[in-house]
Amino acid sequence: MNLDHAEITALTKEFETPFYLYDGDFIEAHYRQLRSRTNPAIQYYLSLKANNNIHVAKLFRQWGVGVEVASAGELALARHAGFSADNIIFSGPGKKRSELQAAVESGIYCIIAESVQELLYIEELAEQANKTVRVAVRINPDKSFGSTAIKMGGVPRQFGIDESMLDTVFDAIGSLRFTKFIGIHVYTGTQNLNTDSIIESMKYTVDLGRSIYERYGIVCEFINLGGGFGVPYFAHEKALDIGKITDEVSDYVQEARDTLFPQTTFIIESGRYLLAQAAVYVTEVLYRKTSKGENFVIVDGGMHHHAASTFRGRSMRSNYPMECIPVSEDPGRRELEKVTIAGPLCTPEDCVGKDVQLPALYPGDLVCVLNSGAYGLSFSPVHFLGHPTPIEILKRNGLYELIRRKGIPEDLVVTQLQTEPDLLFADK
């Protein structure tokens, strides 16, 4: 999205910082372009873990995108967003029985089982509910693909079931009566910027479907090709050749459709690629100071709202792309200077930018963190220090919609207040 400084400044008159601003028109154009390049036999699913704003999810629902959830909370959000049950899939290595039960009751399209034990739990719950439940199995491939930041294929993982254990899986599946195996899922890692490794992994997944037919005589009606499409955040990163991926995977899927899989639903999941570049996180400078010769500014947002921008979960401490908007009365010329931008939390980890080269910043100026539409709020420790959650604003067709109101200080205590005295247990 393009950052319009006058627009952001005007918004700060209406809305208190910090806030997230999403560009709905960008989200739509970006998705539609991806969609138009992809074989219609492939459906896109939005991964809610990258962003769990219900109004953002609703946009995708309107465009016919499905949703991938990974908890009962995300499942509830998907239902509230209006996704029909048959457009919801549920993955995650640690689904509790209560969560599986919620999925069974909702009758979602498919539960993605990540262990043989989970298959057996699902069978039990399906039998209790006297329902047929569709499951797919997440497979941890024998092979590793390219060099993604977080390798997920070919190495020991808590996710999925090893490809080498397929015999055991299909033995178990053979004994299930209420659980219907419909297909497979392979997901090899997020923020993948290696075009060829994504293509390779998706083709491998289609081939896995073929080999399941050859070995067990079952035609998958669901093949989830995964995704993990990355976006460049830092200077050294290069954008994916998305056209090459959609072309090659579309052709490969077409060939599969024309031969063994005429009825099969193919799926690509994405959170980051669909949303990362569609939002900015806007903070205001509160203080300016120096310490032992270094410049610091303290802003009103940080790790509790946007942990990823403060290096969390990243091995490389590189700064997110940032722009500053001088709003305060200009106290002279704005010389470029090296500055560390810290948030309000009482930890040195709350650092939005280390040694950033920016025009001198003063209280009242705005610091905008770009590429903030995915793994922003959903990835952040919002309770740490108890600051309220930030506002979220969606801009569409020139209109602004408040899509998350500001949290209130009492949010910190609502789940702690005792409502029922008999919740107290005596220590034995």
Ligand X SMILES: *Cc1c(COP(=O)(O)O)cnc(C)c1O
Does 271 help bind ligand X (rule: CB under 6 A)?
A: yes
Does 277 help bind ligand X (rule: CB under 6 A)?
A: no
**Conformational region of residue 90, where left means phi above 0, alpha means psi within -120 to 50, and beta covers everything else:** beta
Does 52 help bind ligand X (rule: CB under 6 A)?
A: no
Among 109, 181, 187, 204, binds ligand X (CB under 6 A): 187
CA dist., res. 399 & res. 395, Å (int) = 5
Record the tokens describing residue 133, joined without a space. 């439940």
What minimum distance in Å lies between the beta carbon of 276 and ligand X? 8
220 is catalytic: no
Part of the chain binding ligand X (CB under 6 A), chosen from 43-51, 74-82, 288-296, 401-409: 43-51
Positions 303 through 332 that interact with ligand X (CB under 6 A): none
Going from the C-alpha of 10 to that of each of 325, 327, 387, 394, the distances in angstroms are: 12, 10, 24, 15
Query: For 278, which DSSP code?
Result: G
What minimum distance in Å lies between the beta carbon of 414 and ligand X? 28
Part of the chain binding ligand X (CB under 6 A), chosen from 21-29, 270-278, 284-292, 332-340: 270-278
Q: Which residue has tokens 């979602």?
A: 108
Does 188 help bind ligand X (rule: CB under 6 A)?
A: no
What minimum distance in Å lies between the beta carbon of 152 and ligand X? 8
Part of the chain binding ligand X (CB under 6 A), chosen from 264-272, 282-290, 296-304, 399-407: 264-272
Does 272 help bind ligand X (rule: CB under 6 A)?
A: yes
What minimum distance in Å lies between the beta carbon of 189 and ligand X? 8
DSSP string, 202-213: HHHHHHHHHHHH
What minimum distance in Å lies between the beta carbon of 117 and ligand X? 19
Does 387 help bind ligand X (rule: CB under 6 A)?
A: no
Instruction: Annotate each residue in 136-175 with x if it binds ligand X (CB under 6 A) or - if it does not, as one string.
Output: ----------------------------------------
Does 18 help bind ligand X (rule: CB under 6 A)?
A: no
Residues in contact with ligand X, counted by CB under 6 A, come to a total of 17
Q: Compute the chain's Rg from CA coordinates.
A: 24
Among 118, 123, 248, 269, binds ligand X (CB under 6 A): 269
Whether the Cβ atoms of residue 356 and residue 316 lie closer than 8 Å to each other = no
Q: Is 332 exposed, middle or buried (0-12, 13-18, 19+ CB in 10 A)?
A: exposed
Part of the chain binding ligand X (CB under 6 A), chosen from 45-53, 195-203, 324-332, 376-384: 45-53
Cα distance between the two ends of the chain: 59
Q: Is 14 exposed, middle or buried (0-12, 13-18, 19+ CB in 10 A)?
A: exposed
Does 183 help bind ligand X (rule: CB under 6 A)?
A: no
Whether the Cβ atoms of residue 371 and residue 320 lie closer than 8 Å to each other = yes
Going from the C-alpha of 341 to that of each of 13, 229, 381, the distances in angstroms are: 23, 29, 19
Does 8 help bind ligand X (rule: CB under 6 A)?
A: no
- Which among 110, 220, 324, 346 is annotated as catalytic? 346
Instruction: Annotate each residue in 190-229 with x if it binds ligand X (CB under 6 A) or - if it does not, as one string.
Output: xx-----------------------------------xxx
The letter for the amino acid at 156 is: P
Part of the chain binding ligand X (CB under 6 A), chosen from 76-84, 139-147, 183-191, 319-327: 183-191
Nearer to ligand X, 90 or 261 (CB): 90
CA dist., res. 303 & res. 414, Å (int) = 22
CA dist., res. 384 & res. 54, Å (int) = 23
What minimum distance in Å lies between the beta carbon of 30 and ligand X? 13
Going from the C-alpha of 32 to that of each of 26, 27, 63, the distances in angstroms are: 10, 9, 9
The letter for the amino acid at 240 is: L
**Dmax over Cα atoms in the chain, in whole Å?**
77
Q: Which residue has tokens 């998705």?
A: 31
Whether the Cβ atoms of residue 108 and residue 90 lie closer than 8 Å to each other = yes
What minimum distance in Å lies between the beta carbon of 250 and ligand X? 18
Among 270, 277, 295, 380, binds ligand X (CB under 6 A): 270
Whether the Cβ atoms of residue 380 and residue 306 lie closer than 8 Å to each other = yes
Nearer to ligand X, 145 or 229 (CB): 229
Closest CA to 27 of 61, 49, 59, 71: 59
Strand partners, 161: 139
Nearer to ligand X, 68 or 350 (CB): 68
Does 49 help bind ligand X (rule: CB under 6 A)?
A: yes
Does 71 help bind ligand X (rule: CB under 6 A)?
A: no
Catalytic residues, which ones?
Answer: 346
Applying CB under 6 A, the residues found at the interface with ligand X are 47, 49-50, 68, 91, 187, 190-191, 227-229, 269-273, 374
